[in-house]
Structure 1
Amino acid sequence: MLSHCRNALRLTAKSSRAALSTFSPPRLFDYESITKNLSVADAITSVEDAFARLAENKVDVPLPMHIGVDETSAAGPGDCHIKGGYISGTPTFTVKLACVSFTKNLEKNLPTGSGIFVVVSAETGAPLGVFQENRFMTDLRTGAAGAVSMKHCSASHHDDVGFIGCGLIARNMARAAAAVRPYKGFAYAMDGAEQFCEDMTAELGMPFTVVDSAEKLCGSSDVIFTQTPGAAPVLELPWLRPHATIIASGSDQPTKNEIPSDVMKAGKYVSDLTKQTVRVGELRTAVKEGVMTEDDVYAELGEIVNGSKPGREGDELIVVDLTGTGAQDAAIGQVAWDKMSKL
């Protein structure tokens, strides 16, 4: 009997080893292939659905992990963010590693940021693809969230759109907004606004104009996208049109802040995921200053998308706080795998 049990255990172990050996290695998709084959338009529908599912508690989204790399002779400075999620019923889940602010890379003629998406089979748990996206897919899904926010939280006649900060995220926000409606663009930044306006006018076929202050931009805009890396607010309440929709995506860690607390309190505050925004988003600052609590959150974006709560109802001020959720990463990961695994 003992001999029989030993033989059974040996067969089980041998079978397990054989099963493990059958997993194919994940496919590697390089940056050039990704940028040639994916666009922000690919992401909008899937990200919109992901927000709806998130509000229905059908997405498993852990809180982000943050690794700070202090500056020493051997490393840094820099930051690493790890996010991920699984949307119930979909065939894959995604884990993303994004590195930012490695400023010494500039001395080596390298970008300051990089990153990968790992798309995993939700059936077997085996990695299917590694996407060396270097924040490209991250920026796509952030832009898509901007489009979803604009669609649901601004009126159809709100066609004056401003951009404070004119980097890569702003470009994807501009492209995503164009998928919602035609508009007139305005841009303000410490650097790069002229090139941004020139490039976006040529690409989108819509007029973009440089303004010389954030105050003038706010006075000219129905919808304002902010995407800056700083720790100081970039606008003020008296500058805003009463019906402005502010879509803020710059704050994704506790050191950042774009929107002053009185602006947050003045209208409807919409979070992408409240458990994140209270820790790393604009809500964190308002709570810290005693101006707001989590009870002041009007809605999560997914509640507006799925119709649980109304978005734009009249001429109210709306602030949408986008910190970036694992649901978005799962959505763009699925899109990327569906499209690029067929290449």
Structure 2
Amino acid sequence: MISLSLAQLQELVSIDVAAISAITDAYVAVADGRANVPPVGYLGLPAQNADCHIKYGYIAGDPIFVVKIASGFYDNPKRGLPSSSGMMIAISAVTGATVAILNDEGWLTNLRTGIGGAVATFALCRPDSEVFAVLGTGTQARFQIRAAAALAKRPVQFLVWGRSVQKARELADEFAGSPIDVSVAADLEEACRSADVIIATTPSTAPYVASEWITPGTHITAVGADASGKQELDPALIARADLLVADLASQSLDHGEFAAAFQAGLFRQEDCLELGAILNGSKPGRGSSDAITIADLTGLATQDIAITRTALQRVPDLVM
């Protein structure tokens, strides 16, 4: 068994071609039946404004299966600490022996979520999309920007909105001098109306993106609502959308962005497609340039498997 630190993992894997391919296949594995993904374990710590997720699963044919523990303590930035932490444990699918403990402190989860968001965005947005509004100023906003910029393969513009203008400016300043064009959006409604793509990344417990702000042709990737009670989008917007896509429908309809609208009867279960089926071509994606499309990403154990496998494949002489 080996143990890998955050610094070692940051050297091993990044937003690169192999990682993007692995995360794409993580979605497809759910659609084609290769994935064994039990229900997510969730521990809410409301008094601490925190929660913890346990995800675990197996992709048929892989040498390992993975158990992931990820916590979010959302007041940590006030303490000068990151909001995310956690680890991944890789276990042999042949012997059951622990192969590796990846002490990633939440970094691999953030990386795979960023890449996964970008994969969903470019599978569903208009090919000519140029303006990307990123809602939120935390760690995941940064990962979504970097991943979307990498997958765009052409210049695009990012507008960052946050409840704190100062934090939005600090985020934009991090990209100053880089090839990634990031500027601050002072007004949320204006940012939503002007965007071709909206990427929502906050842990909000009340919807703040109004339906009337969203123009035809817009795509929205929502990654913030990964537990019951979290919500970023107006349910009327979800009901109005032409295409609803989830990473895993059972998760999304239970505790994701789509949950409140589904439970209110605003759409049917069969109206929610899964991203893997669109990626492998078994289901249609965007139907027209005027369609409003929404991807609700609650996070998959297969993504954790994929990013763990990608990292371990790059460890010299490691036998899995």
**Would you call these one fold, judging by a TM-score over 0.5?**
yes
Match among 88, 99, 104 for residue 60 of structure 2: 88
> 1:38-72 deviations in whole A, cap 9, x for unaligned?
2133521101011112101110011100123465x
Letter in structure 1 aligned against 2:254: R
Partner of 1:79: 51
Looking at structure 2, the residues matched to 141 and 122 of structure 1 have their Cα atoms a distance apart, in angstroms, of 22
Report the alpha carbon displacement of residue 103 of structure 1 after superposing the two structures with TM.
4.0
Match of 2:277 among 303, 327, 330: 303
Q: 1:139-158 to 2 correspondence within 5 Å? A: 139-158=110-129
Structure 1 segment 182-331 matched on structure 2, within 5 A? 182=154, 183-191=156-164, 192-203=167-178, 205-267=179-241, 268-297=243-272, 299-314=273-288, 315-331=290-306
Corresponding residue to 1:117 among 80, 88, 91: 88
Alignment of 1:171-182 (within 5 A): 171-181=142-152, 182=154
Residues 76 and 82 in structure 2, CA contact (< 8 A), matched pair in contact too:
no
Give CA deviations for 1:71-94 in whole Å, capped at 9, x if unaligned: 5xxxx5642210022111111111
What do residues 79-115 of structure 1 show as CA deviations (whole Å, max 9, x unaligned)? 22100221111111111001122747965x5444310
Identity %, equivalent residues: 32
Q: Which has the greater radius of gyration?
A: 1
The residue type equivalent to 1:326 in the other structure is A
**Other-structure match for 1:52:** 28
Q: Is contact 1:50–1:331 with CA below 8 Å preserved after alignment?
A: yes
On the 8 A contact 2:131/2:197 being kept in 1, the answer is: yes
- Asked if 2 retains the 8 angstrom alpha-carbon contact of 1:171 and 1:200, the reply is no
Counterpart CA distance in 1 for 2:257 and 2:137 is: 20
Contact 1:93 1:334 in 2 (8 A): no
Cα shift readout 1:209-261 (whole Å, capped 9, x = no counterpart):
21112111112210110000111112112211210000000001102001111
Is the alpha carbon distance of 1:160 and 1:62 closer, same or farther for their aligned partners in structure 2, counting shifts above 3 Å? same
User: Hey, what does 1:138 align to over in structure 2?
Assistant: 109
Is 2:314 aligned against 1:339? yes
Output the CA distance in 2 between the equivalents of 1:194 and 1:110.
19
Q: Any idea what SS the aligned residue of 1:161 has?
A: strand
Partners of 2:28 and 2:280 within 8 A in 1: yes
Gaps of 5+ in 2: none
Post-superposition CA distance 1:143-180 (Å, at most 9, x none): 11111112210122112111000211111111111122
Normalized per residue, the structure richer in strand is 2
Equivalent-residue separation in structure 1 for 2:122 and 2:68 (angstroms): 27
Confirm or deny that 1:28 pairs with 2:3: yes
1:45–1:317 Cα change, 3 Å: same
> 1-side partners of 2:309 and 2:123: how far apart?
24
Verify the 8 A CA contact 2:52 2:69 in the aligned structure 1: yes
Q: Give the drift of 1:277.
A: 0.6
Q: Secondary structure at the match of 1:269?
A: strand
| Residues in 1 aligned to 2:218 and 2:54: alpha-carbon distance in whole angstroms | 32
Amino acid at match of 1:141: R
SS at match of 2:175: helix
Match of 1:99 among 54, 71, 74: 71
The offset of 1:342, in angstroms, is 5.2
Amino acid at match of 1:56: D
Are the equivalent residues in 2 in contact too, given 1:150–1:180 (CA < 8 A)? no
Alpha-carbon distance in 2 for matches of 1:206, 1:30: 29
Map of 1:5 onto structure 2: none
Whether the 8 Å CA contact 2:134–2:160 is kept in 1: the answer is yes
Picking from 39, 46, 67, the partner of 2:43 is: 67
Unaligned runs of 5+ residues in structure 1 are 1-25
Contact 1:43 1:140 in 2 (8 A): no
Whole-angstrom CA distance in 1 between matches of 2:23 and 2:180: 25
* Contact 1:232-1:257 within 8 A present in 2 as well: yes
